[in-house]
Chain A
Amino acid sequence: MSYLEYTVKHVPTGFAKILHLNWPLTILLAAVSGVGFLMLYSVAGGSFNPWAEPQMKRFALGIALMIAAGMVPIWLWRNLAGVAYFGTVILLIGVELFGAVGMGAQRWIELGSFRLQPSELMKITLVMMLAAYYDWLPPKKTSRPLWVLLPVLMILIPTALVLKQPDLGTAILLMAAGGGLMFLAGVHWGYFAVVIAGAVGLVSAVFQSRGTPWQLIKDYQFRRIDTFIDPSTDPLGAGYHITQSKIALGSGGWTGRGFMQGTQSRLNFLPEKHTDFIFTTLAEEFGFVGGFSLLGLYALIIVFCVAAALINKDRFSSLLTLGIALNFFLFFAVNMSMVMGLAPVVGVPLPLVSYGGSAMLVLLLAFGLVQSAHVHRPR
């Protein structure tokens, strides 16, 4: 069903919308962010600076942004999807041309004092674009090759641009989120089987290319894969991250060492202890109980999003909600797999917990879209 087909009489208006926000989801998001503040306070050695306080300020801004976005009617967002998507693609191209190089990769554009990371935004606008596309496309045509090719291009264009930066992690996340959305929209199983087979072929081609002039990925990416497969080969070099992360995690035990008692993270054995590896601090200080609780909060967020999508009769709203939830899932699943030694170190933060400005703002904005979908659902 589409908004074209029903009246919006029952949709709340004005400030009444606030009452109709998805409050359980809001509370869950705040709880996860709260865990983040606690951990940032701890890794700074019991201090709000330099991380916890800016993070809290950004969270306050983000929540305001989320509520504001939630008040905007969902059809407006849908109509903006195309503009947002192409705008972000242009920004990605802009990064390619004018972007600052950080950590060996071009990732952001300096906009005054604000540092914009378009690949962050891309994850959301791609989901918006695909959701709008499948809302527009008659369901019967969904699996026709031409109509499958179009969304594949929508995914591949930004993916290629992100890969060029190079940011393998985000590229994979974009593909996974885009693919997931196509799956949700009802594209035939066969396509996925072909793509998965193709991906396996590509991966083997990548490994075949190693050491040849047409090498497909960079040496450091190869090394990350190597050390992921066997971290002990280079315990002080590239394998250091994973080994130290596992040590910190493992030494937490069942209940952990206690708040601010984690030796590994506080003594700087952990790299990026306030960003990508913050989960290890949590797991070291609060043990399995703490880590599992955070995982539980994440699971509840996914469950509430899926539930909100299921009760929403609007196709765009459902797809958007599920797509954003999937994106969120991919974030923490990849990050946790990474710190637990199940995936190579690709530089994906733990959503809402890791220190980082634009990631949190973009994420909360995305949940603002979910709120909007929920508030303006057909009744």
Chain B
Amino acid sequence: MRRSRADSDASHSKLSRRAVLLGGAQLLFMGGLAARMNYLQVDQADQFRLLAEENRINIRLIPPARGEIFDRNGVRLAQNVPSYRIVIVREDADDVDAVMQRLGEVIDLDPEVRARAMAEIKRSAPFLPVTVADDVSWDEVSRVSVNAPALPGVSPEVGLTRVYPRGSDFAHIVGRVGRVSQADLDALENPDAVLRIPRFQIGKINVEARQESLLRGSAGTKQVEVNATGRVMRELARREGQSGADIQLTIDSNLQNFVQARLGDESAAVVIMDCDNGDLVANASSPSYDPNLFIGGISSADYNPLLQSIYRPLVNKTVQGTYPPGSTYKMVVAMAALEDGIVGPEETTYCPGHLEVGGRRFHCWKRAGHGWIDLENSLKQSCDVYYYDLAMKVGIEKISAMANRFGLGWKHDLPLSSVAAGLAPTKAWKQSARGDSWVIGDTVNASIGQGFTLSSPLQLAVMTARLATNRAVVPRLIKSIDGVEQASGAGEPLGMNENNMRQVRKGMYSVVNDRRGTGYRSRVIADGVRMAGKSGTSQVRNITAAERARGVSRNEDLPWERRDHALFVAFAPFDKPRYAVSVLVEHGGGGSTAAAPIARDVMLQAIYGGEPPLDAYPTADRGRIAEQQKALRAIQPQADFSGKDQA
């Protein structure tokens, strides 16, 4: 097919026109692209550069060092020690199975732990370190380091972990830390980001938990450059965090240790309080447990015995346990009556050995009765009938109000877990809590610290300190925080008649120092260290008529958990009180036999600031005490334990 030249020329010029048109349009579009590029890269460059920095810079937290805890003399009770773990980075290891195999030849690897680590390695990103062995010794760390060429991707990492050098002595005061659990996070309104750091430790109970905010400190940060998958490329900047505050307790660790040792395996509690400023110098609950066992997670083999023991080692009996105060409550009743002016100290009541109230017979502990008896003798011999009579005259409301003034039935503010309020019952309380109206028998029971009345050993120590000083002494456990002395617990004057107080103290003096006093066998004979006190024996259950008929009324005949609690409260020196002590021996039997000797030993230890001279004890006791001191010396105090072997 032939075309005319004109035809061809026409079509060619049309093609040229359109080619130029389309080419122009293309160049125009490219101009638009250039304008857009100019807009993004020149006009908006600053904004995009900012966005780019945000993209690549990642803020990482540096966990703060937890504050340490010391006793009143600066002895470390909770400290941080380096802990080593072995980590593996998959992408550096190449053949993970082979490396793990070789690692197993270098250090001991629990097969179960190893399987778990393998699963985690497979799951996580190849550049993230995975822990294959926790809490390894320095020895193992060095073995891994020496064999590093054969273990690509494996490296030791160091962190801080908590150690309690005094072990079980302070489990019920300092408490313990543990890994942050989901429950911990749920309990917080707005959990600190630092808590999400793997292996971060949080206070679980007692001071560690209650002072968590002070001890934790604040996290530092480091800026790292990361890529889109989160791999750290390099560190750009670092801001150190604030370590937690150091806390000094009022406890004297040597005394605490002595008290724990003195209690031994007995299910018992002792509180020693400074009468002047409320300092708790010892606060022992026995048996105790080693908080170090809990830090990395406790095994069930260790945990189950603690949980199942009838002596309840996990319970802090000094503040958490509440018991009928028994005869130690009699001072409260006496003060209520004296302050009310209903009776004078010289007035006497006849004790025939029992009292009929509302058709029910209430017995005195001494079946034969005490005969005519006044205030001093009623305390000295712990006559029950005297107090039945007194309580009915004063009324339960005034008794309970007086108990509150002495710190009973009142939740003291201490940085310990589950501080119990106890109970000083009133008519209104019974109505609302039991839905029952108060009967006179309840008053009679309350007068000797039985029935509904409940108090903790701590409360009884506070009561004793207040009796000794006529001041509202407040218990104090934290002496200073980061070197800043905390408010003293000396308290305001109680404002009670000093003469009345003196009468009650005189009675307490007779309890220990009078030949007929219930605590005479636990007297101190050193002048200037004379002790005043009061025994208490609180019934755990009523002796049934059937049991009485069988003649089972002696404690020794009963199973342990049904025996009476033994209590003793004391302060010394009598002339110038320094310490108030309360002792509770669960199901120990009589207060004067089971609790009073402990009270004397710990009191003397506190006053002498160490082992007391034997001549403070009555001559007859010295041989036995010498034996006991020798035995105790053998088990205390432990050498300063500084955690794992380190570099």
Contacts and interface: CB of A to CB of B under 8 A. Distances in A.
B181 interface: no
B19 A310 contact: yes
A319 B56 contact: no
A11 B558 CA distance: 128
Interface stretch (A116-124, A336-344, A345-353): A336-344
Given A138-B3, A247-B51, A288 B19 contact: no
Q: Is the interface of A mostly helix, strand, loop or mixed?
A: helix
Contacts of A283: 37, 41
B298 interface: no
A268 interface: yes
Contacts of B38: 288
A366 interface: no
A87 to B, nearest CB: 26
A291 B26 contact: no
Contact of B226 (A252, A267, A325): A267
B108 to A, nearest CB: 40
A326 interface: yes
A306 B19 contact: yes
Given A180-B22, A183-B22, A288-B42, A315 B15 contact: yes
Contact of A253 (B11, B41, B228, B229): B41
B113 interface: no
A302 B23 contact: yes
Interface string B46-78: 011101100110000000000000000000000
B60 to A, nearest CB: 16
B48 A340 contact: no
B264 to A, nearest CB: 63
A244 B227 CA distance: 13
Interface residues on A, range: 35 or more
A81 to B, nearest CB: 17
A302 B26 contact: yes
B631 interface: no
Contacts of A318: 12, 15, 19
Given A139-B10, A251-B51, A310-B16, A267 B225 contact: yes
B433 interface: no
A269 interface: yes
A313 B8 CA distance: 9
A249 B20 contact: no
Given A250-B40, A269-B227, A315 B12 contact: yes
Interface in B1-41: 1-3, 7-8, 10-12, 14-16, 18-20, 22-23, 26-27, 29-30, 33-34, 36-38, 40-41
Interface of B: 1-3, 7-8, 10-12, 14-16, 18-20, 22-23, 26-27, 29-30, 33-34, 36-38, 40-42, 44-45, 47-49, 51-52, 55-56, 225-229, 233
Given A269-B55, A295-B37, 17 more contacts: A2-B3, A5-B3, A142-B11, A183-B22, A186-B15, A246-B40, A250-B48, A250-B49, A250-B51, A251-B49, A267-B228, A288-B42, A291-B37, A299-B30, A302-B23, A306-B23, A310-B19
21 contacts: A2-B8, A138-B3, A139-B3, A139-B14, A184-B22, A186-B14, A186-B18, A247-B48, A247-B51, A249-B37, A250-B41, A251-B48, A251-B52, A254-B41, A268-B227, A269-B55, A269-B227, A291-B41, A318-B15, A326-B22, A333-B33
